[in-house]
Amino acid sequence: MARILIVDDASLVRLYYRQTLEAAGFEVREAFNGLEALEKLLVEPVDMLIVDVNMPQMDGMTFLKALRGQALPIASIPALVVSTEAGVQDMAAAQAAGANFYQVKPLSRDALLQYARMFCGVPA
């Protein structure tokens, strides 16, 4: 069963993602910001990261940069960054920081499930 870590400081968003993903059979973990995410990953790896950009103490971009630089298996977990900005430069910036892909909020249930299935290799 594929495991997904949601990194977002809004409890409502984490709850919403969790409901949606668990209902579709994914295992869900949560982290409040980049720091907590790193801590959790060091203990238990996941198959996919969904990362918000704006979080306190360690934002999404900083987190991913730090993650990709590790000489550990967790450095190669595919990551989807979700944020409010919509511009070509934001995709480039997100990828430069370490995101495999970038999607603008809000994420509908269908889109969320699509990404989860694509990133975790669940056949369509």
Partner 1 sequence: MNEFLEQFLVEARELVEQATNDLLALEAAPSDRESLDGAFRVFHTLKGGAGIVDFAAMSRAMHAAEDVLATVRAGGRPVDAALIGDCLTAIDNVVQWLDTIQDTGALPQNADAAADRLVARLVAGETAARDAKPEVAETSTPPAASPLAILEAQIGFLGAGGDGRIGAAGRLAANLLRHLNRTDDADEIARVTGESLKSGRAATLIDAITQVLQASTEAAPLRSEPLSRTLRVDAERVNALVNLTGELTVAKNAIGHIARLARESDSSLAAAIQDEHARLERLIATLQRAVLGLRVLPLRTVFQRFSRPVREMSESLAKPVRLETEGEDTEADKAIVDILFEPLLHVVRNAMDHGIEPAAEREAAGKSLIAAIHLRACREGEHVVIEVEDDGRGIDADRVRAAAAERRLVAPDALAAMSDAEAVELIFAPGFSTARAVTGLSGRGVGMDAVRTAVERVGGGVQLRTDPGSGSIVRFVLPFSVMMTRVMTVQAGGQMFGIPLDAVVETVRIPRGQVHPVGGAHAFVLRDRTVPLVDLGRTLGRGGGGAPAAEATVVVTLSGGQLGGLEVDRLGERMDVMLKAPDGLLAGLPGIAGTTMLGDGSVLLILDLSGVLQ
Enumerate binding residues for partner 1 (CB under 8 A): 12, 15-16, 19, 23, 67-71, 73, 75-79, 85-89, 91-92, 95-96, 98-101, 103-104, 106-108, 110-112, 114-115, 117-124
Residue 81 CB, nearest approach to partner 1 (Å):
11
CB of 87 to partner 1, least distance (A): 5
Q: What is the 3-state secondary structure (H, E, C) of the chain?
A: CCEEEEECCCHHHHHHHHHHHHHCCCEEEEECCHHHHHHHHHHCCCCEEEEECCCCCCCHHHHHHHHHCCCCHHHHCCEEEEECCCCHHHHHHHHHHCCCEEEECCCCHHHHHHHHHHHHCCCC
Q: How far is the CB of 60 from partner 1 (least distance, A)?
A: 15
The first and second tokens of residue 37, run together, are: 């995410």
What is the nearest approach in angstroms of partner 1 to the Cβ of residue 55? 19
Between 31 and 46, whose beta carbon lies closer to partner 1? Answer: 46
Q: Which residue lies nearer to partner 1 by CB, 11 or 57?
A: 11
